[in-house]
Amino acid sequence: MESQIMEWSQGMGKWLKEYFRSRESRRRMTGEWDAAISVGATLFMVTVRNGRFLKEKEYILSGEGEASLAEALCRAEKDGFRHRKLLWLMNEPDLRCVCRKFPNMTEPELEETIQWEEDRLFGSEPVQSGYHILSYTPEGYEVLVSAIRKETGDRLAAAAEKAGRVIAWGISPPDLFRIRAGDRPWILVLGGASRGQVFAVGAENTWRSKQLRLQEDTAQVLAEFAARVKFSQEEGRVFFFPLTDGDKAGKLWCQAMEEAGLSVTEPLSLPGEALWKPQVMEAAPYMPACSINLARREDRGFSFWQSSCCGKSRVLLFCLASFLMMVLSLSCCLYAAVSLWKAEKVMRDMAPVAAAHAKWEKEKEWEKALAEDLNAWEKGSGHWQKRLIYLSEAAGTNVVLSSLEGQNGEIRIQGTAMSDEEARAFADLLGAAWGGQVRMEKLRREENSPLLSFSMVFREKGEPQDGGNPSEDKEEPL
């Protein structure tokens, strides 16, 4: 189950990458681009917008090498080809393309593996390579790898730099005609002055390739190759495209293809100087959709904000969207700041109320605790209420109490009375009312006063008089 989930997740990842790649190709196709194709001593320059030609022109090279290319690019800029980044068809004589299978791995690992395998694929000479994944299965990848010598790539890049340009996308011809042929089987012959290469893609998208030499048996070699790959002229398409040094040998290559039974799908005007112009005009609109990039790695990649009407509108829309996002962000920040300020102001205004509420809460807690204490005391000492009532009834009008103390199980009562009889009568009534014994400790008349002061002690019945185990000394509440 886990392996199926991993396989499904990897498949979804590949599908998403292919989807975004196709979106990338469509974005390039719908932009405005300058493309360059070199055939023989002619440099073809075209400007394409949304798959349509805006302008095209041919420039005759004054010689060989980067200086002549740079001079032709400078002339093209004066004629209105002003895009700094170029699409360049890498139909160089040293172009090599191979179809190889690699085991299952991640795409970064695949790219790194292809870079490590360049020596084995193309020899020990340094190259600039690019690849396109033709198919993917759980067993691994089938990949089309194209490369040119690094010396050739540096020469083209240096010529572009002298003219103030950058070759941002170096296009491989097999990748270009793969897009142009669509889903039908096809054969492409790339022909140079003496060497060439043939590619065939079958109905099941199986790739085959073979190196060629322009000799007397070239037609036989092509016929055997077409038979081996089971190519049908009626069902497929046949293309020929010259390498940069193949302009003069193009007629011989096309004759060999005719003899092998491979009629070029798009007829060419073989005689005359305009031999390759129809081919260039047929191929140029497909160039922005290619996925193999043979440009120098430090120069690769396009900015989609080209100096064109379409690019300027995109820049304007992007800036407008950025401005709106900035305004929205500032509005949100301002709203949050105002809300915070209002909340702080409300909190400051409510501070006295909050303090009063806190005080009320504290008092409420204190009252609750006091009520609990009184309830507990009342449950444990409820008989004191009755004792106090009896005491007030027994005192009468001629007896005045001055103090009432409880200690060691005894209650000491002090006060004054009008006479000795009233004090003793109060003691007897108190003992009968409280249900205990009352002992008179002091009874004497005050100096210069008609009143008698008394002090008596009340003890519960059953309490020891002396020598017992008295309880802890404490003042009992009334």
**Residue 233 scores a pLDDT above 50:** yes
pLDDT, position 335 = 92
Residue 42 vs residue 380, higher pLDDT: 42
Torsion on CA atoms 20, 23, 24, 28, rounded to nearest 10: 180
**Residue 332 scores a pLDDT above 50:** yes
**Residue 389 scores a pLDDT above 70:** no
Residue 300 vs residue 218, higher pLDDT: 218
The mean pLDDT of the chain is 79
**Residue 53 scores a pLDDT above 50:** yes
**Residue 89 scores a pLDDT above 50:** yes
pLDDT, position 385 = 60
**Residue 472 scores a pLDDT above 60:** no
How large a percentage of the chain has pLDDT more than 90?
A: 4
State mean pLDDT over 376-398: 65
pLDDT, position 273 = 47
pLDDT band at 475 (very low <50, low <70, confident <90, very high): very low
Domain boundaries, the chain: 2-307, 383-460
**Residue 122 scores a pLDDT above 70:** yes
Question: By mean pLDDT, which of 111-115, 214-218, 388-392 is the weakest?
Answer: 388-392
- Provide the residue type at 145 as one letter: V
pLDDT band at 103 (very low <50, low <70, confident <90, very high): very high
**Residue 305 scores a pLDDT above 50:** no
pLDDT, position 193 = 87
Question: By mean pLDDT, which of 33-47, 76-90, 197-211 is the weakest?
Answer: 197-211
State mean pLDDT over 342-363: 87
Task: State pLDDT tens for residues 176-187.
Answer: 888 888 878 889
CATH number for the segment(s) 383-460: 3.30.1360.100
pLDDT, position 468 = 43
Task: State pLDDT tens for residues 252-299.
Answer: 888 888 888 888 765 544 433 455 677 777 777 778 777 788 888 777
State mean pLDDT over 417-439: 85
State mean pLDDT over 59-71: 86
pLDDT, position 469 = 41
State mean pLDDT over 194-213: 83
pLDDT, position 470 = 38
CATH fold of 2-307 reads Nucleotidyltransferase; domain 5 (3.30.420)
pLDDT, position 302 = 62
Task: State pLDDT tens for residues 6-38.
Answer: 555 555 555 555 554 554 455 455 577 888 888
Name the range with the highest mean pLDDT among 46-55, 383-392, 449-458: 449-458
